[in-house]
Structure 1
Amino acid sequence: MRPLILYLLLFILVNRVYGNRHFRLGRRENGNLGAPGAFEDNETPAPKWFSQKLDHSNPSDLRTWNQRYYMNDSFYDYEDPGPIFLMIGGEGPADPRWMVKGTWIEYAKLFKALCFNLEHRYYGESRPTTDLSVKNLQFLSSQQALADLANFINAMNQKLKLRKNVKWMVFGGSYPGSLAAWLRMKYPHLVYGAVSSSAPLLAKVDFMEYFQVVVKALREKTGGDDCVNHLKEGMQQVDMMLKANPEVIEKEFKVCSPFQGVSANDLKNFFNSIADDFADLVQYNEDNRFSVDEKYKNVTINTVCKILTDSEGNKAAYKKLAEFNAITLEKSHETCMDYNYGKMINELRAVEWKENTGGARQWMYQTCTEFGFYQTSSGAADIFGNHFDLDFFVQQCMDIFGQKYNLDFIRNAVAWTNTKYGALDIEVTRVVYVQGSVDPWHALGILKTQDNGAPAIYINGTAHCANMYSPSDNDSTELTEARVEIQQFLDSWLREP
């Protein structure tokens, strides 16, 4: 699910997305879920491989492929076996660090669980087909991924000779959070309970609410309108100066090529990139993700807003935006901002696996055929300008995969997804939904406990999947209490006869 669909998916998370920082579409380079903490190589388990079916919808299709998974049985007592915990992979490579770090591992220690992490088909090293042509991508869908998980559970039950009443508990954050709830709904005989974190259960073509939450978070975290007003002023100045003095913006924002002769889509990409800086900032604000360079841990809403509102030197608003842009370029190890639309499309047209290790083309395909999730400027046009509307994202689907993938196609696909899974009216028990108020994805999630008893935990002040990361001394009281509440639900379900 940008800062995606997600994204998970992704793992990760650096600002360099899809090879060009401006292109996120709901996910980062390796998914929406970040790495859970620092580690030593010898701490993490080696990968294992599972012979998976290619097409679960066709019983006569006997083709198989090797799916990657990880296993940690260091807490498990084979003589007195406990539950099985399964972390669901998402829109990026499975990260073995999750097998030794994160809140779910603390739960596993407590309940003496056997832990698995199954990588999502078509991401990381789980490659069902020879390439990523449109013909081969037909086997990439959430429905096939759920069937993968069910097949894996059945196979592990047999391979490890697990007792018949063993309780499988599944965990997922962002898009895998949705998969966790859907897996419990679709295969209740296999999955006893689920923790669904930051899950966008409602598929939506025009996800205009995303940037509305971003703007709201900027206001709430800083206690007023100053930061948003300076952001708005800066965006307006950039817009005006692109028309009058484009060379100034070229220099300030360190673009890779001059604006002379660029296309309308190039400019949309440019504006989308600036907005994405703030999307990334808000979605992962003050979480406990592992950072390769600790100096960027303090790049938060408050520190960036301090840059924007600083009156010292009477610096123009657009220059302050450029200052933040320079930080994100440095953080993602980029020397310039590449906004070239044609280059981006060509990269996403590549069908070779070696060109798509992060999952950019794959997740783009899923947004075009299942979810939408396009974070348009439509909901916050007064702040960011309406430069990246829905047409901009739909055009990408058509340019990458073909004219068939137009707006009508995407709308029908999204409607089918919501009908298939129930969207926010999903009927399922023993699923705890966890959302954070600062995370823009909560706008597509379940925030209140359902009539069927499926509980919801809404954590004020927290960002995307914050409850999944290892605890920190800086965690808020609400976040700490949420982790305990999730533990209590797990304990209650596991005690059931």
Structure 2
Amino acid sequence: MNVKWVLLAVILVIFSYVVLECSALPLPVGIKSGRSSSAYLTQDEYWFSQRLDHYSPTDHRQFNQRYYEFLDYFQAHDGPIFLKVCGEYSCDGIANDYMAVLAKKFGAAIVSLEHRYYGKSSPFKESTTHNLQYLSSKQALFDLASFRNYYQELTNKKQNLSNYDNSWFVFGVSYPGALSAWFRLKFPHLTCGSLASSAVVLAVYNFTDFDRQIGESAGPGCKKALQEVTRLAEQGLSTNANAVKSLFGAEKLKNDGDFLYLLADAAVTAFQYGYPDVLCSPLVEASSSGKDLMVAYADYVKNYSSDGGVESYGQQFLKNTTVDADSNGVSNSRSWWYQVCTEFAYFQVAPSNDSVRSSKVDTKYHLDLCENVFGKGIYPEVDITNLYYGGTSIAGSKIIFMNGSQDPWRHASKQKSSDNMPSYIITCHNCGHGTDLRGCPQSPSRIEGDASDCASPDVVHKARQQMVEHIDLWLSQCQDEDHGGIFVV
């Protein structure tokens, strides 16, 4: 298959920072618009009226929040309800991944709520810093809790039942994986358990382990080539910045730090999403044959570019506050950076030695970005976030943590297993972000999460079997202790 089209498909579906922004104009609650795609179980939209500020007793403003439901396998009276958490992207439907297999096995419904301030679920028409004040993981968790209770009541009405609770189980990948774990932590009475896939539960100020994992996943030859690209790029910026940026089609990135961040992030996606050879093979070949390494990497970066293009890495791009369907991902990118700059940091900075990315992509670069894009006084309260949720010492129960061995984000996830919080590392050459649900490569999603493209499909199958065993056990305990009602802790 043509490498260019593989990479374009990867970014169009997965790369959440700069996906195409959808219109924020709300529809009346309950109205749906039908769309279909083989990549989705459903794209039929429904709407839920959500409270803007869950922490204010006097602010009663609401906004319309988009959600989806898939009921083909649902055993209405006693079947569980799987809540699939959406995150920092436009949630355009329920993906046809391994959750379809799980829903069929357990006779479950799948429902999925779009995260506030992303996609079509924006409370405001302008994402000014003032308007973004209601964007946080804490507000999002209350959104999920409110929606969970709303949907349970809706299900009861359809079945002519009262005071009945199906068994709920929560699923999420990446930031939604963290939300899944935190939902179980903060609202244990509303769910029987959760799957936290590639869950970034640890807010990290200086995330040097991220870069170290890139080097480890790349292997000696590819790592050396990437380090040489970084050296050549820094050298080019000091002599003729426009020429080196033009090679990558990145002339609009006036800030050199933004350009160097682009170069680093382009490499990250290959390991994060399970297609390392697409990046490394041409680089190692160019390095060994004496070809121009910068040209080889520029070809990769150009093919990798998302809808927003390399321009989306520019801070001027992120300062655009318009919430519009034609904004090329501005709203989603800006919303996520706001959460990064206020709650999580996850600052992907170079370690002190043997780094892959430029040392100029440092803490100051990130803090300057936060201030430039959102204004003075905006900084990530990492300690407060970890104090509130527990970081990797999270003290919830019945939470499954899954991580891919090649995923740099796993260093912000929980990797130490316990009886109540079993943790698994899926080890294979191309096991990355969300391998347990998405398969390999991570995107485009294979129908029903086909694992045949994984370098070690048996490892993925084993991890999934362990997942199923825990879900089965915890759902059974839910039903036994409350006869199909809410799990009591």
Normalised to the residue count of structure 2, the TM-score between the two structures is 0.82
Please list, as runs of the form range in 1=range in 2, the aligned pairs for 1:42-441 lying within 5 A after superposition. 44-78=42-76, 80-98=77-95, 101-161=96-156, 164-219=164-219, 225-244=220-239, 249-250=244-245, 252-256=247-251, 266-285=255-274, 300-310=275-285, 314-316=289-291, 319-332=292-305, 338=311, 344-354=314-324, 355=327, 359-378=332-351, 382-405=355-378, 409-410=379-380, 413-441=381-409
**5+ unaligned residues in a row in structure 1: which ranges?**
1-10, 18-23, 32-37, 220-224, 286-299
The CA distance in 1 between the partners of 2:130 and 2:279, in whole Å, is: 44
Given the alignment of the two structures, is residue 471 of structure 1 paired with residue 450 of structure 2, yes or no? yes
Q: 1:333 to 1:345 in 2, by over 3 A?
A: closer
Task: Deviation per CA, 1:238-282: give whole Å up to 9, x if none.
Answer: 33344446576356444436x9xx6xxx22222222111211111
Per the alignment, residue 295 of structure 1 pairs with none
1:42 and 1:441 map into 2 onto residues whose CA distance is: 26
User: How far off is 1:214 after superposition?
Assistant: 0.5
What is the DSSP-based 3-state SS (H/G/I as helix, E as strand, rest coil) of the residue aligned with 1:115?
strand
Q: Percent identity of the aligned residues?
A: 29
C-alpha distance in 2, partners of 1:144/1:12? 32
Q: Distance in 2 between matches of 1:96 and 1:156?
A: 17
Equivalent residue, structure 1, for 2:30: none
Report Cα offsets for 1:167-191 as digits up to 9, x if no partner: 1100000000000010011111111
CA contact (8 A) 1:83 1:166 kept: yes
1:338–1:111: structure 2 CA closer, same or farther, 3 Å change rule? closer
The alignment's C-alpha RMSD in Å is 2.9
Alignment pair present for 1:456 and 2:417: no
User: Shift of the alpha carbon at 1:164?
Assistant: 3.0
Q: Distance in 1 between the 2:50 and 2:307 partners?
A: 38
Change over 3 Å in CA distance of 1:398–1:15 after alignment to 2: farther
Task: Flag the 1:117–1:403 CA change in 2: closer, same or farther, 3 A.
Answer: same
Instruction: Tell me which residue corresponds to 1:482.
Output: 463
Residues 375 and 48 of structure 1: CA distance in aligned 2, closer, same or farther (over 3 Å): same
**1:491 aligned counterpart, secondary structure:** helix
**In the aligned structure 2, how far is the partner of 1:245 from the partner of 1:156?**
58
Conserved 8 A contact 1:378-1:389: no
Shift of 1:72: 1.0
Q: How many residues align?
A: 435
Q: Over residues 85-114 of structure 1, what are the superposed CA-to-partner deviations in whole Å (9 max), with x where a residue is unaligned?
A: 01011001113142xx11112100111111
Are 1:307 and 1:320, in contact at CA under 8 Å, matched by a contact in 2? no
The CA deviation string for residues 455-495 of structure 1, in whole angstroms up to 9 with x for no partner, is 11111121001111112322321112111111111111112
Deviations 1:396-423 (A, max 9, x none): 1101111112xxx42xx11111111111
Q: Deviations over 1:134-179 (max 9, x none)?
A: 2211111100000011111111222221663421100000000000
For 2:279, give the aligned amino acid: V
Taking the aligned partners of 2:389 and 2:288, their CA distance within structure 1 comes to: 55
Q: Does the 8 A contact of 1:471 with 1:480 survive in 2?
A: no
CA contact (8 A) 2:404 2:426 kept: yes
The residue number in structure 1 matching 2:27 is: none
Q: Is the 8 A contact 1:171 1:177 kept in 2?
A: yes
SS, match of residue 189 in structure 1:
helix
Name the amino acid aligned to 1:468: L
Q: Tell whether the 8 Å contact from 2:37 to 2:43 is kept in structure 1 after alignment.
A: no
Cα deviation for residue 15 of structure 1 reads 7.3
Q: State the AA in 2 paired with 1:67.
A: Q
Task: Note the residue ranges of structure 2 that are not aligned, 5 or more in a row.
Answer: 1-7, 22-35, 439-448, 481-489
Q: CA deviation at 1:382?
A: 4.0
Alignment of 1:16-35 (within 5 A): 27-29=17-19
8 Å CA contact 1:177–1:198 kept in 2: the answer is yes
In terms of mean alpha carbon deviation, does 436-445 or 352-361 score higher? 352-361
CA separation of 1:488 and 1:41: change in aligned 2, threshold 3 A: closer
- The answer to whether the 8 Å contact 1:268/1:387 transfers is yes
Report the CA distance between 1:195 and its aligned residue: 0.4
SS in 2 for 1:310: helix
Q: Is the 8 A contact 1:170 1:191 kept in 2?
A: yes
Residues 286 and 296 in structure 2, CA contact (< 8 A), matched pair in contact too:
no
